Amino acid sequence: MKNTTHACSNKSIVTVNGKFSGPTIYAREGDTVLIRVINRVKYNVSIHWHGVRQLRAGWSDGPAYIMQCPIQPGHNYDRGTLFWHAHILWLRSTAHGALVILPKLGVPYPFRKPDHESVVCKSDTEAVINQALKSGLAPTVSDAHTINGHPGPVLNCPFTGGFSLN
């Protein structure tokens, strides 16, 4: 949990390793990656791994209580597995990050090698979260966006910085 000012108000948000957006995970093509997720918050959590072939693990690629059981508070989950995010309640807004797969050593990129690379993670936040929790449905509107955890301008909210890509 981390206290932050987000969408004009102070909030306590769920983070991964204290980061918002969560950590970027780097691997090379052909690597086997083992990721241990330890739930240290008071909410159930499930993590959804996008774009990765998971052998014999189709049951771990979906929302909690539908395709998989959530990680209960105080428990952990090991998964050998591009983009990852929490897949339960509003946690998807703050618990997410990138999984970057680089070419094997000595193998060129299938395109011109980039001069520079930057990971950009965009997320939405909803001030209407209480309404969503009462209805049991996802919020229908987003009132603020972040890029790599930095908010952009929000109506009726002073703008004090943000993310720029040069």
Residue 40 CA to residue 137 CA, distance in Å, equals 25
The residue ranking higher by pLDDT, 47 or 146, is 47
Output the pLDDT for position 55: 58
pLDDT in tens, 94-112: 777 888 877 788 887 777 7
Structure tokens at 117: 């690379």
Q: Give the bridge partners for 102, in sequence order.
A: 28
Block residue for tokens 């946690």: 91
Asked if pLDDT for residue 155 goes beyond 60, the answer is: no
CATH number corresponding to 2-119: 2.60.40.420
Structure tokens at 136: 């049991």
Domain boundaries, the chain: 2-119
CA atoms within 13 A on the CB side of 50: 11
Output the pLDDT for position 144: 64
The residue ranking higher by pLDDT, 23 or 164, is 23
Whether the model pTM is above 0.85: no
Asked if pLDDT for residue 163 goes beyond 70, the answer is: no
Evaluate the CA torsion angle 162, 159, 85, 91 in order and state its sign. positive
